[in-house]
Amino acid sequence: MAEIVSVTGGKVLGTREGGVTRFLGIPYAAAPIGPARFEAPRPVEAWSGVREALEFGPTCVQSPYPPPIHALIGSDGIPGDEYLNVNVWTPDHTGSGLPVLVWIHGGAFVRGSNARRIYDGTAFARDGVVVVSVNYRLGISGFAAVPGSASNRGLRDQIFALEWVRENIAAFGGDPGNVTVFGESAGGMSVVALLASPRARGLFRRAIAQSANGSAVATADDAGKVARQLADLLGIEPTASAFGRLGPDELRSAQDSLALALMTDPDPDRWGASIIANGLGIMSFFPTIDGDIVPDCPTDVIAAQPDRTVPLLTGWTAEEFRFFTFPSGLAAGITDRALPHLLARYGLDPSVADRYAANRPNATPADVFAAVLTDLVFRDDAMRIAESTAAAGNPAYVYEFAWRSVIADLGACHVIEVPFVFDQLAAAHTLTGPNPPQSVADEVHRAWVRFATHGDPGWSRFDTTTRTVRVFDAPESHEVADPRPDELRALRRAKLTSSASV
């Protein structure tokens, strides 16, 4: 059955099936092509008549994931100019006052889209929540610090999309005063950046940061170094006008070449210390401290300015970094001899491995490496942000997703919780294996619905004394007070020792 809604720009036609209406590929901003690719987002151009919103919209230019990752989660890439678009799922667009979830996808700030099957919002709408999933500028388009361009364009797009939600979500039955922003990986990092950004204040009531951190930011000087390296690679001047003349294929090729150059030669003198340390050799484009959209390191801003906090749900998967080490074959090269050098490269005193190995008597060096990096990149910052939120008097809820995939020795790896959150297990068997537990999806999905609806996911609040964490697993989930505190203490000492020695 067809349904029509009026939004900024004009009327859109969606489809209703099984009690859920979906509207796909609605542009929330003008198409950022040519020089506009490097400018702040602008209002969408109005259209006449009724625009069909029946298919997913275009995505920002990107290359497919490398084969091991592509086999697990697929890749994205729908061509077209109007890639600043949103999808909306609603149980009742004629109603009012429904809670709203706004999804920001991951992909290391260079890949991903709102069109992925495991991001389908049908189950949330089935359970009474309006879902909006957002596309934003990625890679060079969204985050290259090109002189003369608007900074942090990808984050500006997210803020612009949240403003679109505030102005339009009532037309879909949603409550603009009850918006929860949520995201995973780079999307979760975006959520933390939005928490700290003065430009995003008042645009959402609650936040969910999945597998995120608030430390993945570059200094302006270091981001400028990357932009100059990029311009040299392309043979152009490092100006917004020169970059604005590039087409999608040139941008895609340049992004890939730069990522390869950075991984091959991770020299801080060439790229900048913050690019190497905070990008972890995985990300070449990510948010830049600009004193405006990103005033400083988000984790530090949230700690120093309690008024930036909102009710928070945050957590990690128990073995995040296996996603980056085992499918690629990197794990095979992590030996007893190599482990200390790898940890030092990530700015850690190698002795931190002793604590993690002692707690895992049968672990290989690759297992220990993945455990340390999981905490370094994800758990430590999640706990710090939860600590700041609780200390400010806002509710904080923390989880660890511990159910283990049987695919490619992934375990409880990065991304594994996403299809459980969306209750889309049938779309995720290449990641989870053929028989993931529906009972865990029921529990996790219900917790996200509860948090979006009234701010309580259904387990004990985190505070700085008990530090309660909900562990999702099968056959039974449970609460733990301050899991593995000895490892987190050792990690923080290892970072302090390393910093003191530089």
Per DSSP, the residues of 381-402 read: HHHHHHHHHHHTT--EEEEEE-
Nearest alpha carbon to residue 297 among 219, 388, 181, 394: 219
From the list 149, 185, 197, 405, the catalytic residue is 185
Q: What is the mean pLDDT of residues 247-258?
A: 94
Q: From 210, 236, 269, give the residue that closes a domain.
A: 210
Q: What per-residue confidence (pLDDT) applies to 41?
A: 98
400 is catalytic: no
DSSP result, 478-491:
EEEESSSHHHHHHH
Query: Is 387 a residue whose pLDDT tops 80?
Result: yes
Instruction: Give pLDDT, residue 281.
Output: 74
Say whether pLDDT at 1 is over 90: no
Q: What was the pLDDT predicted at 497?
A: 64
**Per the domain annotation, does 284 fall within a domain?**
no
Q: Does 10 fall in a domain?
A: yes
Q: Is 439 a catalytic residue?
A: no
Whether residues 190 and 316 fall in one domain: no
Tell whether 17 and 162 lie within a shared domain. yes
Q: Within this chain, do residues 246 and 354 fall inside the same structural domain, yes or no?
A: no
Residue type, 288: T
In a domain, 497, yes or no: yes
CB 89 within 8 A of CB 130: yes
Distance CA 333, CA 252 (A): 30
Hey, what are 331's tokens?
A: 């794990």
Angle at 104 between CA 70 and CA 396, to 5 degrees: 115
Name the DSSP class of 77: -
DSSP state of 333: G
Q: What is the pLDDT of residues 202-214, one digit of tens each?
A: 999 999 999 999 9
CA distance 369 to 62: 29
In our burial notation (b when 16+ CB lie closer than 10 A, e otherwise), range 392-404 reads: bebbbbbbbbbbb
Q: Where a domain ends, among 155, 179, 210?
A: 210
Residue 294 maps to a domain: no
- Are 288 and 294 in contact by the 8 Å Cβ rule? The answer is yes
Strands 85-90 and 130-134: antiparallel
Clarify whether residues 259 and 364 are in a common domain. no
pLDDT recorded at residue 408: 85
Same domain, 193 and 271: no
Residue 39 domain-assigned (yes or no): yes
Indicate the number of domains in the chain.
3
Which residue, 366, 395, 391, 380, is CA-closest to 460? 395
The count of residues in the chain is 502
What pLDDT digit, counting tens, does each position of 487-502 carry?
A: 999 999 999 664 433 2
Determine the structural domain holding residue 327 and report its residue range: 311-501
196/318 same-domain check: no
Same structural domain, 274 and 330: no
Residues 188 and 323 placed together within one structural domain of the fold: no
Q: Do 175 and 321 belong to one domain?
A: no
360 with 231, same domain: the answer is no
In a domain, 293, yes or no: no
Last residue of a domain, one of 176, 210, 244: 210
- pLDDT of 189 over the 90 cut: yes
Tell me, yes or no, if 320 is annotated catalytic: yes
Residue 146 lies inside a defined structural domain of this protein: yes
| CATH code for the domain in which residue 467 is found | 3.40.50.1820
Residue from 82, 184, 320, 487 carrying the catalytic annotation: 320
Task: Write out the H or E segment, with its range, that includes residue 368.
Answer: helix 365-374
Tens of pLDDT, residues 292-337: 999 999 999 999 999 999 999 999 999 999 999 999 999 999 999 9
Per-residue pLDDT of 388-434, as tens digits, reads 999 999 999 999 999 999 998 999 999 999 999 999 999 999 999 99
pLDDT for 282 = 79
CA–CA distance, 371 with 356 (Å, rounded to integer) = 7
- 448 part of a folded domain: yes
Instruction: Name residue, tokens 């865990």.
Output: 440
Q: How confident is the model at residue 200 (pLDDT cuts 50, 70, 90)?
A: very high
pLDDT, tens digit, 9 for 90 and up, residues 23-79: 999 999 999 999 999 999 999 999 999 999 999 999 999 999 999 999 999 999 999
Residues 364, 264, single domain; the answer is no
The one-letter code for the residue type at 187 is G
Pair 275, 225: CB distance under 8 Å: yes
Same domain (yes/no): 268, 165: no
Those residues whose C-beta lies under 8 Å from the C-beta of residue 428, and which sit 6 or more positions away, are 118, 418, 419, 436
Among the listed residues 414, 417, 445, 477, the single catalytic one is: 414
